[in-house]
Amino acid sequence: MYGTIDRNKLEYPGHFTIGKIFLTSYRTQVLDVPQKIDITNLVGEINIYESIKNKVLTGNLILLDAQAIPTHLPLSGFERVEFKVFTPGCSRGYDFTAKSGHPMYIYNITSRSEQTARSQMYKLNFCSKEMILNEQTRISQAYKGVTEKGIFDIVRTHLKSKKALFLEETKSNHQYVIPRIRPFKAIDMLKEESYSRLHNTPGMTFYEDADGFHFRSYENMLALTRDKARPVVAKFAVKPANVGAKKDVIEQMKQVYGFSIDKQFDTLQNYRTGMYASRVVTHNMFNKTFSELDFNYQDEYELSHHTEHDGQGGKQDNKSLAPRLNFGNDKYVSDYPEGVLHFLSTTEKMFNEYEPAPQELLLPRKLSYHMAFETQILSLDVPGFTGLSVGDMVAFDAPSYEPANDTNPLDRDPFMSGRYLVKSVRHRFDFAEKKHFTKMECIKDSYMNPLPQETIDTFTTQEYDDSKANIKQYDLDDSIVGVATSNQESKFK
């Protein structure tokens, strides 16, 4: 996406173009035309939020108001906000106009405070129309067959959305009964049991970005095809600004204002959530049988695409978050399935030709795959760009923080550098600085370089054996009392 920017239109990093900003009331003005006011000169900042964990776009406007708009419009939580903002030279942006796009809906006013005797500041929070409709609607319906058909019906029929809808095909062939719940909860119910037609890892996501709604798997975000990794849209690095007479604005767009590695690993979390290993205990009421099935992270890892690839865009088996090491008693970290137990029913022949999802296979794989992305989290502050979205792949060179030497000529962290999936985005448009800033939360489920492997057991018998020191607390207390009594008596002799 960065390679498609028209250099002749983009003047500087963070450059943005925005038209008039309108607040549209539910009240009519003349001839059934809704009352609309121009608040462009009152807006100090606009924030727009995207996340693969959120169903819709949200955002806010920060206003410095000397016209008492909340009183005179009035603001009641039933208004729309309309504007269009984009990066010059980029075909992708946010169109919230009524004529060509989809207006956003005001739902809240917060942080209202006095600035001067005649002015106030407040924040107007907005969201997509579908969020409002979700609160007004419930679904009581059965869906059969592939999951995307149900998603399509919910979005088009129950949420009445006219936005673009991008659907990844699934190979689910199940029947779902939606028990009078809200549309977004129904979508969660469907997507949790679905699995991609093309990729190995189960579990889907549903989210909105500037292009519309997306129903897709994590693995689809990482790979273009079954065997080819998805290319990155940009490579970011911490480096000084270009010096000299001529500066490349595209390269400046890839410079990092600031970053933080918010999380690098969490072994306890991985054990507790079953990322490394788990066991599924199933009960089939029809056959009256029990069975057990173990999940092993190391065995499953090579079957799916991950953020890092083999160098040619293919799958790899040696860059996982768990190195192959002897973790005591000649076992790997993924050889302890009793740490997490799942109890499931696998009763068959409930819906004739439609069978329930094979959760005994899907659940442990889905949880492990998704939780791996919660292990490494990177925050990046970069020049604003409306072409950057959640679900994109980016690359980042993390500094090594070591003395310059020949062993690391690129001066980068060999593990935390590499490819990341963009999980969430905050676009901040600052009207005072006339500049657009983008803050990303990026995640990854593999290392850029493999962790070292070890066959020697460095854990067993490596600590002092104090197991014979078994002391009864009451005996210890009696001895303390005895010593104290003896000392007291000696004072009087």
Instruction: List per-residue pLDDT tens for the chain, 493 residues long.
Output: 787 888 889 999 999 999 999 999 999 887 788 899 999 999 999 999 999 999 999 999 999 999 999 999 999 999 999 999 999 999 999 999 999 899 999 999 999 999 999 999 999 999 999 999 999 999 999 998 899 999 999 999 999 999 999 999 998 878 889 999 999 999 999 998 888 999 998 889 999 999 999 999 999 999 999 999 999 999 999 876 554 445 789 999 999 999 999 999 999 999 999 999 999 999 887 778 899 999 999 999 999 999 999 999 999 999 999 988 888 778 888 999 999 999 988 766 655 555 667 888 889 999 999 999 999 999 999 999 999 999 999 999 999 888 877 777 778 999 999 999 999 999 999 999 999 999 999 999 999 999 998 888 888 777 888 888 899 999 999 999 988 888 776 766 6
Q: How far apart are CA 282 and CA 294, in angstroms?
A: 11
Per the DSSP assignment, residues forming a β-bridge with 207 are 214
Spell out the residues 6+ positions from residue 265 whose beta carbon is closer than 8 angstroms to its own: 321, 375, 376
Whole-Å CA distances, 307 to 218, 232, 310, 322, 333: 10, 10, 10, 15, 21
Tokens of 3: 């390679």
Q: How far apart are CA 52 and CA 391, in angstroms?
A: 7
Is residue 367 within 8 A of residue 275, CB to CB? The reply is yes
Q: What is the pLDDT of residue 132?
A: 97
Q: Where are the CATH 3.55.50.20 domain residues in the chain?
A: 135-230
Tokens of 255: 């410079």
Tokens of 275: 């990322």
Q: How far apart are CA 151 and CA 44, in angstroms?
A: 38
Q: How far apart are CA 372 and CA 374, in angstroms?
A: 5
Class of domain 2-131 as given by CATH? mainly beta
Q: What CATH fold (topology level) applies to the domain 135-230?
A: Phage tail protein beta-alpha-beta fold (3.55.50)
CA 388 to chain centre: 15
Q: What is the pLDDT of residue 244?
A: 44
| Strand runs labelled E in 411-456 | 418-430, 435-444
Q: What is the pLDDT of residue 161?
A: 97
Of all helices (H) and strands (E), which one includes residue 273?
Answer: helix 267-273
Q: How far apart are CA 155 and CA 150, in angstroms?
A: 9
Q: How far apart are CA 438 and CA 428, in angstroms?
A: 6
Classify burial at 364, counting beta carbons within 10 Å of its beta carbon; exposed 0-12, middle 13-18, buried 19 or more: buried
Dihedral of CA atoms 438, 441, 446, 448 in degrees, nearest 10, equals 30
Q: How far apart are CA 388 and CA 234, in angstroms?
A: 9
Phi, psi at 307, each rounded to 5°: -60, -40
CA 434 to chain centre: 29
Q: Where are the CATH 2.40.10.10 domain residues in the chain?
A: 2-131
Per the DSSP assignment, residues forming a β-bridge with 399 are 412
Q: How far apart are CA 147 and CA 267, in angstroms?
A: 34
Strands 93-95 and 22-30 come out as unpaired
Q: What is the pLDDT of residue 9?
A: 93
**SS3 readout for the chain:** CHHHCCCCCCCCCCCCEECCCEEEEEEEEECCEEEEEECHHHEEEEEEEEECCCCCCEEEEEEEECCCHHHHCCCCCCCEEECEEECCCCCCEEECCCCCCCCEEEEEEEEEEEEECCEEEEEEEEECHHHHHHHHCCEEEEEEECHHHHHHHHHHHHCCCCCCEEECCECCCEEEEEEEECHHHHHHHHHHCCEECCCCCECEEEEEECCEEEEEEHHHHHECCCCCECCCCEEEECCCCCCCCCCCHHHHHCECCEEEEEECCCHHHHHHHCCCEEEEEEEECCCCEEEEEEEEHHHHHCCCCCCCCCCCCCCCCCCCCCCCECCCCCCCCCCCHHHCEEEEECCCCCECCECCCCHHHHHHHHHHHHHHCCCEEEEEEEECCCCCCCCCEEEEECECCCCCCCCCCCCECCCCCEEEEEEEEEEEEECCCCEEEEEEEEEECCCCCCCCCECCCCCCCCCCCCCCCCCCHHHHHHHHHHHHHHHHHHCCC
Q: What is the pLDDT of residue 268?
A: 94
Q: How far apart are CA 315 and CA 303, in angstroms?
A: 7
* Number of other CB atoms surrounding residue 258 within 10 Å: 10
pTM confidence score: 0.92
